[in-house]
Amino acid sequence: MNFLGHSTGGIVSSGISGALSYSQTNSFKMACGCAVTTYIFSLYPDMDIRSTSRKLLTIAGLLGTLVLFWANPVYSLILISLTLAPRMFPHRGFNHSLLMMLIVSLTWNVMFPGTIWAVMIGYMTHLILDTHIHLT
């Protein structure tokens, strides 16, 4: 699937994620955070190839690392690791696995507690779209 397909799937799943979060927390801030998180991770598995997803998420990851560095240097190291690690694996390799989804979800949840399921929804959206729906 291409960027447009994953982006569309990410938008749909992020709307669901945001609604679920709001229904559980009554917090608009948390709902928006979960929606954005879901969208980001619906694109994340394609960080292993030269793609629009990789460009966008690399820029966001590097900017986020700079911002987090001032607040928490350890979190900035975690974020830069999440940004650069996928480049070590071949496309549709480890980045497209349930184990990587679990590692990334748990790691993200350390920095942003309560968002583990938002990461998993986004990640699974990507994996499902790659596996079951072929529009080309």
* Alpha-carbon span 110 to 14, nearest angstrom: 20
Asked if the model's pLDDT at residue 92 lies above 70, the reply is: yes
17 Cβ contact partners less than 8 Å away, ≥ 6 residues apart: 34, 35, 37, 38, 117, 118, 121, 122
Asked if the model's pLDDT at residue 35 lies above 90, the reply is: yes
Report the chain's mean pLDDT, rounded to a whole number: 86
Region for 26 from its dihedrals, namely left if φ exceeds 0, alpha if ψ lies in -120 to 50, beta otherwise? left
Spans of all domains in the chain: 3-132
Cα–Cα distances (Å) from 102 to 38, 117, 119, in that order, read 14, 10, 9
Q: Quote the pTM value.
A: 0.81
Cα–Cα distances (Å) from 96 to 9, 12, 26, 82, 129, in that order, read 16, 20, 33, 14, 11
